[in-house]
Amino acid sequence: MVLTKESKQLFVFNCKRCGHCCTELGGVTVLPEDVDRIAIYLDTSRKKVKEQYTYTERNMVFLSQPCPFYEKDKGCTIYIARPKVCHLYPLQVENGRYGAATGCPGAIMIPLGGG
């Protein structure tokens, strides 16, 4: 649960393990440190991680979609080494405010009222 002071909303999250975020959304950003961590976890090289699991667009590196690390029965197979953006999801920051990603059935924003 996160109380977002600016928007006076309560962010409540309970993952339903539906896999939507790992299979249907594009553009999971992979930072250089994410590539390093995944390479260590998989006991392989940075080069192989980039070649096998990512694509590059406008100098940004993204995970291939659907995510190659998602398995229907197991969920995320690199959970402890997953990219930082996967840690945050479905919490998002837009225009300086926290919000819940649309399409995630486990996240809701509860208005607290009081202006």
Please pick, from the candidates 15, 40, 88, 112, the single residue that binds ligand SF4 as defined by CB under 6 A: 15
Rounded to a whole number of angstroms, the minimum distance from the CB of residue 113 to ligand SF4 is: 26
Binding of ligand SF4 at residue 100 (CB under 6 A)?
no
- Of 66, 7, 56, 4, which Cα lies nearest the Cα of 32? 56
Indicate the residue type of 101: A
62 binds ligand SF4 (CB under 6 A): no
Strand (E) or helix (H) holding 34: helix 32-42
Nearest-angstrom CA–CA distance, 10 and 38: 33
Binding site for ligand SF4 (CB under 6 A): 15-22, 28, 63, 67, 69-70, 76, 78, 82-83, 86, 89-90, 104-106
